[in-house]
Amino acid sequence: MRDLTEAQVAAGHMVGIVCDSTTGGEFEERLFGQMKDMLALGIHRTPMQRHVGPGDLASARRTYSIIKELRPDVLHGHGAKGGAYARLFGSLLRVSRSRVARLYSPHGGSLHYDETTATGKLFFALERFMARFTDCLLFVSDYERRTYRRKVGEPPIPNMLVYNGLRAAEFEPVIISADAADLLYIGMMRDLKGPDIFIDALAAAGPQLGRALSAVMIGDGDDLPHYHAQVKRLGLEGHVRFLPPMSAREAFALAALVVVPSRAEAMPYIVLETLAAARPIIATAVGGIPEILGSDSPALIRPDPIELADKMSEALADVAAYSKSMPDAADLRARFGADVMAAEIEKAYFAALGR
């Protein structure tokens, strides 16, 4: 979001952000603080619960009031809740003859649900219903677009594939510190992202290499106490360091090898950021990750601790050799630059506005 916002501001657009105020911490607050002076329409944070519930009524009223006052030309909703608000409120504004383009980027969200369950059927029925109030769907990966078609149906509206992008500065290599750990996990501390898989693999990989491996785990989330307990149970307390959220590039200097052990993803920025920083990675072949690394990349594994342990052992045995299997930096920049992303999204905005 920050990369897109900065690129849109640089292109001369007046941009604002409306988002949840109940998630995030000091790190996110610092990021918002760095951005606030550049946003002509400001940053507006208000409570928004992740799941559907009674609190949505009050949240919707607050959010609509903010958006009505801002009077935007474009409402771009990210994620299931953001997408629902953007399309609902954009449609309400149209009733008062305000021409608002309504765009939606799913980002996983409701697409993670099983279409055979009652909950999945409900969400996908809602997605089909909301499509009639949508001017354009913007998918961040072909995996996400295929999943939408399979679970929701063929979109009856314009849709585009626009990959996430990074700023030029993020393509500068990061050099690891002299006392760097072996392995790094950075992300949300929840089972969907696989911290438990990472810890189990860490315990299994040590004996394979004949030494105890060291790791840094960075992030926050409701499941964090479970991972502390798991580390203690496996006797890894002296080898795993937990740290609060920080910038990805700051984190990359702390370990030789980055691991993304997710059970499900859409198009994770952390994989792009790792490769752009010229750091080697092991990642699960879920969501759009194979579109970044290449479907035949040796860095891809299943979300399985034994398979991950084997790959950890292989990579750490010769990190320099393993690093040579990462994608070409020039190709990454051409496909995943923020300028490319912003230009494609701008085209979608103008098309939705009929310009």
Residue 217 DSSP SS3: strand
Q: How far apart are CA 98 and CA 69, in angstroms?
A: 12
Distances (CA, A) of 146 to 108, 150, 275: 12, 6, 25
pLDDT of residue 269: 93
Supply φ then ψ for residue 129, to 5 degrees: -65, -45
Q: Which residue has the tokens 């383009």?
A: 101
Weakest mean pLDDT among 224-233, 251-260, 328-337: 328-337
Residue with more model confidence, 94 or 205: 205
* Model confidence at 110: pLDDT above 80: no
62 with 46: CB under 8 angstroms?
Answer: yes
Segment 18-29, tens digit of pLDDT = 998 888 778 788
Average pLDDT over every residue of 313-328: 97
Weakest mean pLDDT among 15-24, 167-176, 241-250: 15-24
Average pLDDT over every residue of 191-214: 97
Supply φ then ψ for residue 20, to 5 degrees: -70, 145
Segment 209-222, tens digit of pLDDT = 999 999 999 999 99
Average pLDDT over every residue of 55-65: 89
Percent helix, strand and coil across the chain, each to the nearest 5: 50, 15, 35
pLDDT of residue 124: 93
pLDDT range class, residue 1, cuts 50, 70, 90: confident
* Model confidence at 53: pLDDT above 80: no
CB-count burial class (<10 Å; 0-12, 13-18, 19+) for 267: buried
- Structural domains of the chain, with CATH: 2-165+337-353 (3.40.50.2000), 169-335 (3.40.50.2000)
Average pLDDT over every residue of 101-129: 89
Average pLDDT over every residue of 7-14: 93
Angle at 171 between CA 170 and CA 174, to 5 degrees: 80
Weakest mean pLDDT among 81-85, 101-105, 298-302: 81-85
161 with 145: CB under 8 angstroms?
Answer: yes
Residue 160 DSSP SS3: strand
**Alpha helix locations (H) across the chain?**
2-10, 26-35, 55-70, 79-95, 118-130, 142-151, 195-209, 224-233, 248-252, 269-276, 289-293, 305-317, 319-323, 329-336, 338-353
* Model confidence at 103: pLDDT above 90: yes
What element of type H or E holds 218?
strand 215-218
* Model confidence at 253: pLDDT above 90: yes
pLDDT of residue 355: 64
Average pLDDT over every residue of 335-355: 93
pLDDT of residue 275: 98
38 with 2: CB under 8 angstroms?
Answer: no
Weakest mean pLDDT among 47-51, 57-61, 90-94, 219-223: 47-51
The pLDDT mean for the chain works out to 93
Q: How far apart are CA 334 and CA 320, in angstroms?
A: 25
* Model confidence at 145: pLDDT above 90: yes
Q: What percent of the chain has pLDDT over 70?
A: 99
DSSP state of 166: B
